[in-house]
């Protein structure tokens, strides 16, 4: 029910409200890091709910950069690939291209049920059904969609490892 409410024309508004309500603490997190961790976000064929939740992290309600992260627009500048969606067969080549463009030390993070195991879009003639059966991921963030604060907390936990 919650996932349904978040879709449609008001989804950005809901994302903003959630962000305001759930602004996480960044106390003591990654501020002393030499440089921020570069995040490249790739949507590969879901409903885009997870993609929008990640987008909302870029807003002022979440101190993404203070937490030690920056969203980049070039895979060559990225440390972590955040992938949403069930990996459609059409998108598979793009995923491979982005991954290869990233520098050594890269990590793959599945955000949302679709990216983890296909969620409501299991493997079929059109989709590969998520990353879990295809390749090792460094971190799977479950949810449909996971809330922005859950995504940020998972990234912060990963950064501490
Ligand atoms: S996990 Fe849910 S919210 Fe995320 S892309 Fe898939 S269907 Fe949409």
Q: Which of 112, 115, 33, 106 is nearest to 72 (CA)?
A: 106
Q: Which of 102, 82, 103, 74 is nearest to 152 (CA)?
A: 82
| Predicted local confidence at residue 32, as pLDDT | 52
User: Is residue 4 scored above 60 in pLDDT?
Assistant: no
Structural domain span for residue 146: 2-21+35-160
* Tens-place pLDDT, residues 57-109: 988 888 899 999 999 999 999 999 999 999 999 999 999 999 999 999 999 99
pTM: 0.81
58 C-alpha to ligand 1 centroid (Å): 19
* Average pLDDT across the chain, whole number: 84
| Predicted local confidence at residue 24, as pLDDT | 41
Tell whether 102 is covered by a domain.
yes
Substitution site in 1, 2, 3 for ligand 1 pocket (most atoms within 8 Å of beta carbon): 3
Q: Where are the beta strands (DSSP E) in 1-89?
A: 37-43, 69-71, 80-84
- Domain total for the chain? 1
Percent of the chain, pLDDT > 90? 70
132 C-alpha to ligand 1 centroid (Å): 15
Q: Which of 42, 38, 50, 36 is nearest to 6 (CA)?
A: 50
Q: Decide whether any atom of ligand 1 lies within 6 Å of the 45 Cβ.
A: no
- Span 12-18, average pLDDT: 43
3 C-alpha to ligand 1 centroid (Å): 8
61 C-alpha to ligand 1 centroid (Å): 22
User: Is residue 130 scored above 70 in pLDDT?
Assistant: yes
Substitution site in 120, 127, 130, 142 for ligand 1 pocket (most atoms within 8 Å of beta carbon): 120
Handedness of CA 142, 111, 44, 138 (dihedral sign): negative
Which residue is it, tokens 């920056």? 70
**How would residue 20 be classed by pLDDT, with cut points 50, 70 and 90?**
very low
35 C-alpha to ligand 1 centroid (Å): 31
* Tens-place pLDDT, residues 28-43: 444 456 899 999 999 9
Q: Decide whether any atom of ligand 1 lies within 6 Å of the 127 Cβ.
A: no
Helix, strand, coil fractions of the chain, as percent rounded to 5: 35, 15, 50
Which of 17-26, 79-88, 128-137 is the most confident on average? Answer: 79-88
β-sheet bridge partners, residue 6:
none
CATH of the domain at 138: 3.40.50.12280
- Span 48-53, average pLDDT: 96
| Predicted local confidence at residue 158, as pLDDT | 95
**Which atom number of ligand 1 is nearest to the Cα of residue 143?**
1
DSSP H helices in the chain? 2-5, 11-21, 49-57, 89-101, 113-117, 148-160
| Predicted local confidence at residue 61, as pLDDT | 85
């Amino acid at each position: 029910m919650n996932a349904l409410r978040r879709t449609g024309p008001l989804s950005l508004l809901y994302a903003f409200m959630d962000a305001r309500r759930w602004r996480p603490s960044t106390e003591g997190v990654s501020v002393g890091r030499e440089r921020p961790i570069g995040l490249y976000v790739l949507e590969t064929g879901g409903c885009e709910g997870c993609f929008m939740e990640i987008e909302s992290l870029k807003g002022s309600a979440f101190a993404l950069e203070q937490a030690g992260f920056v969203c980049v627009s070039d895979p060559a500048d990225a440390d972590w690939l955040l992938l949403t969606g069930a990996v459609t067969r059409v998108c598979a080549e793009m995923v491979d291209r982005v991954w290869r463009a990233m520098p050594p030390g890269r990590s793959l993070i599945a955000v949302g049920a679709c990216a983890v195991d296909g969620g409501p879009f299991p493997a079929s003639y059109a989709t590969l059904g998520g990353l879990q059966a295809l390749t090792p991921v460094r971190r799977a963030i479950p949810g449909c969609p996971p809330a922005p604060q859950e995504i940020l907390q998972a990234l912060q936990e990963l950064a501490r490892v």
